Amino acid sequence: MTKTHTLHRGTAPLLVSLPHDGAALPGDIAARLVPDAKRVPDTDWHVSRLYAFARELGASIIASTCSRYVVDLNRPPDDVSLYPGQNTTGLCPIVRFSGEPVYLPGQEPSPEDVAQRIERYWRPYHAALAAEIARIHAAHGRVVLWEGHSIRAVLPFLFEGRLPDFNLGTVGGASCSPALQRRLDAVLAGQEKYTFVVNGRFKGGYITRHYADPANGVQAVQLELAQCSYMDEDACAYRDDLAAPTQALIRRLLEQALVE
């Protein structure tokens, strides 16, 4: 079976989840994709590298290995839309963020394909994620689940105009405590280098919504970054000169997430 994820266990009450970091395509699935989709352009490129510093803070890190074109780990297994009325992509996407097709004509996944992918790829990631949340909570009595994502800054199919650099989502404040929300808001408001929005277009995906339980010490936050804040979007190349200050601001956010 294809390995679905990697897991680094840390010592702090912080778990960084990177469900769209993977780019692997099993051969049988790759053979059904249009040529451009085989490049998996909708990957959250280099987020594992961007968040590698979080180990220094004691964070645990779980990251996917397979592409979201296999199955989207940040979608519910019943594929109910997280953003009703807005363009989005599904559990087993058949369109790219550009609105163009993922699959060759007639090669889209059948209901049986989808069910198989859920069992083979989706459930193992979520089982590991849930187990790590439970482990950290047992050790500390609390845990902050940090969802790390990134996306191209301009994608007319999904949103108008240019996306802000930092897009913080807490499901309208429902997935974390008011105190954590205020601290994160203050970090973003206290800097002038990056544009940002809180609970805008990306309020939090399935993982943020499903696992958050602030009343019982499980807080969840999603950060969607505009990829131009740390990489060359056209070349899909990581840029240290852009990434370093972006990492510095993410570090400040994670440090606030660790405050009791």
Q: What is the pLDDT of residues 240-251, one digit of tens each?
A: 999 999 999 999
Integer CA distances (angstroms), 164 to 29, 198, 224, in order = 33, 10, 9
Q: Find the length of the chain.
A: 260
Identify the bridge partners of residue 146 per DSSP, sorted by sequence position. Answer: 16, 221
147-170 tens-digit pLDDT? 999 999 999 888 889 999 999 999
Residue 164 DSSP label: P
Distance CA 74, CA 42 (A): 13
68-106 pLDDT, tens digit per residue, is 999 999 999 998 877 766 767 789 999 999 999 999 999
Per-residue pLDDT tens over the stretch 165-201: 999 999 999 999 999 999 999 999 999 999 999 999 8
Q: CA 186, CA 63: separation in Å to the nearest integer?
A: 28
How far apart CA 141 and CA 32 sit, in angstroms, is: 46
CB-based contact 18:48 (threshold 8 Å): yes
Is residue 15 classed as helix, strand or coil in its secondary structure? strand
Given pLDDT bands bounded at 50, 70 and 90, which one contains residue 2?
A: low
Q: Are strands 143-151 and 218-226 parallel, antiparallel or unpaired?
A: parallel
Enumerate domains of the chain plus CATH numbers: 5-257 (3.40.630.40)
Structure tokens of 112? 């049986």
Alpha helix positions (H), the chain = 27-30, 47-50, 111-117, 123-140, 178-189, 206-211, 240-257
Q: What integer pLDDT is reported at residue 166 of this predicted model?
A: 98
Following CA atoms 241, 41, 26, 117 in sequence, which dihedral angle do they give, to the nearest 10 degrees?
A: 110
What pLDDT does residue 87 have? 64
Is the whole model's pTM more than 0.75, yes or no? yes
